Structure 1
């Protein structure tokens, strides 16, 4: 049985999600929730057991899939099933954040289960030192299914999305690509002190595409597997992100990402971890989020079985709490007009 979290804004400001005044939270049985306005925005976090697959459906019914999980049938089948359950007959945009197999490896199989219209990525390298064994095979499959349909994204690009008359605009902005962050001369100053840095990351993680999704006042952040030093460039010396409502934990919530200064600067209300049972949702990241002034709730696709209960989200906030994976996801539905969204955990 799934659980729902509903948060909303009232005129007196006492119940709030977007302005980040303390919200009133209530859990209800999923079957008792009736919230499917035609103008809603949906975000589905598909369980790929530590991979990436975030499915966005705009108010026009246009779909964007950010990453497509691991190679093989399992993740592609889960993504296709989730898409069809949400009424989709195709994926309009498949965005690959970077060239690690848990983020693009499912592309070839996925396109045999559901059509994909357009492909977006950071550009295809000649080789990938991170994965000399799998990359030649997997990238060949990706090239084949994306031939004539793919576009290279740069920092500052905005995906061309259809807009629904009478609804707030939907905007998906690329904030970083191939190690470069977007330029914004009007951006305010960011972190008050120079962020701490680590040894440079030579992997493809540091070259990840990252995005801010906006729908009315609602803002969602997905930075792929971006790592520590590159994250710092988004909040220092200028704040290139702004305040965020929903933070998808970067790099599945691993400790090498999720820079404390970035999380403090974007000041999310909730965070969703696309983690696996033994990958991601690191205790340091969980604790840093909980220390943030306006932070409210953590949601996880899996319980981190390597951490104590105190360093996990409550069981009602975890889609797959045990070793036996049911492949349950997390869904967010946003009603910008009513200034509220519902988080549904599990099916």
Structure 2
């Protein structure tokens, strides 16, 4: 039976109705949609059986860290930005400032965060490091972070060939971040491979897999290859020639991003880098990879916004099909999100859930541009965003953490998985 969430306390109501006695903290966590619980306590350490998803606010790109139910760890992107260089090149756009501050490079802040939220027994390495695509705001901190906390395996969009849609080793020969990435893989001998589209076994629990049969990670897409929704079958969305012809011998990294769906019992989570979904305006039909992707992803509880909520992504079909209860926006620029993207997120009819929208770091100029009504529809505009999924995935909560201290600023939930 599929239930609509009529309030974030529905999970507790269902538990009581079934005759179970919830823990005392369940009552404390239950609040109205508009009034989150305020707090100043430390974020509780992960315990086995829980799925923790940390959207780390560095102000310098996307970084998401996962502690899976058996303690397996996974990193999805580790970005960094040259704020001064970006603003000089793309003026008058503004980039967000480094968070918590610029006293240390981004990779050190990421490392510190991971050390603080990972149980000691799992701190020696990160089991999986995924690179959604080769833009600095998604992997610019990866090499230095990997030297500090070794990676068990790197999964990117096209290794080892790195030839789609062009020979990247030569095309990006002057790209220092990409060349450092190649050197790191070679020197550190890190096993590196492309995402295997359709697979549910490439990324798996490494410690106690048999104990959690309801947990899985499905590889949805990489490059132009998409899962069909049937076993491990795939199909092509476009050819290398389609892309290079449109870009006059060049190419666009964003629609090549890899994407995954994490499932834990009834709970589902999607993340997909900078995948694009804009239609028309002189763009080729294949530029919209979100529509065919959404068809195989289906409804989820939580999604990140493709391309930071930029105007060329998160189209109406994607929003309506995934129909998320919780939306996480990972920002670093004054043009994130596009106003029309925001309108699609807040629209609600009889068939869609009301949404709670959270942002890691909203640029002040964005708020000035859009006005107070825009701010009022976000639950949070600043902070690390942690989704903690209860054992077996029936409920989950959202925590907003203060950047320097990791103290809980606000709590939302429990939400009931659909």
Structure 2 length as normaliser, TM-score?
Answer: 0.67
| Structure 1 segment 191-340 matched on structure 2, within 5 A | 202-228=251-277, 229-235=288-294, 239-292=295-348, 293-305=352-364, 306-307=366-367, 308-312=371-375, 317-319=380-382, 328-337=383-392, 339-340=394-395
Over 3 Å counting, the alpha-carbon distance change for 1:31 and 1:241 in structure 2 is: same
Q: 1:227 to 1:185 in 2, by over 3 A?
A: same
Question: Which of structures 1 and 2 has the bigger CA Rg?
Answer: 2
Residue 78 (structure 1) shift = 1.9
Q: Say if 1:186 and 1:77 are closer, same or farther in 2 by CA, change over 3 A.
A: closer
Residue 74 of structure 1, CA deviation: 2.1
Query: Which one has a larger percent helix, Structure 1 or Structure 2?
Result: 2
> After TM superposition, where is structure 1 displaced by more than 6 Å over at least 4 residues in a row?
32-35
**Structure 1 match to 2:204:** 160
CA spacing shift, 1:139–1:169, aligned 2, 3 Å:
same
Q: CA deviation at 1:117?
A: 1.2
Q: State the 1:175 CA deviation.
A: 0.5
Q: What are the ranges of 5 or more consecutive residues in structure 1 without an aligned counterpart?
A: 16-22, 188-198, 320-327
* Structure 2 unaligned residues grouped into runs of 5+: 1-6, 18-30, 83-103, 233-244, 278-287, 407-418
SS for the counterpart of 2:152 is strand
1:6/1:27 contact within 8 Å kept: no
Residue 28 (structure 1) aligned to one of 38, 43, 56: 38
Alignment correspondent of 1:80: 111
* Cα 1:241–1:133 shift into 2, 3 Å: same
The alignment of Structure 1 onto Structure 2 pairs a total of residues equal to 314
Instruction: Check 1:68–1:12 CA distance in 2 against 1; reply closer, same or farther (3 A cut).
Output: closer
Q: 1:116 is matched with which residue?
A: 151
Mapped to 2, the partners of 1:14 and 1:313 lie a distance apart of 32
Corresponding residue for residue 216 of structure 2 = 171
Rounded Cα–Cα distance in structure 2 between residues aligned with 1:338 and 1:263: 22
Map residues 28-107 of structure 1 onto 2, 5 A cutoff: 28-31=38-41, 37-70=47-80, 74-87=105-118, 88-107=123-142
CA distance in 1, matches of 2:185, 2:81: 15
RMSD across aligned positions (CA): 3.2
Separation in structure 2 between the aligned mates of residue 90 and residue 314 of structure 1, nearest angstrom: 39
1:342 lines up with 2:352 in the alignment: no
* Cα shift at 1:185: 4.0
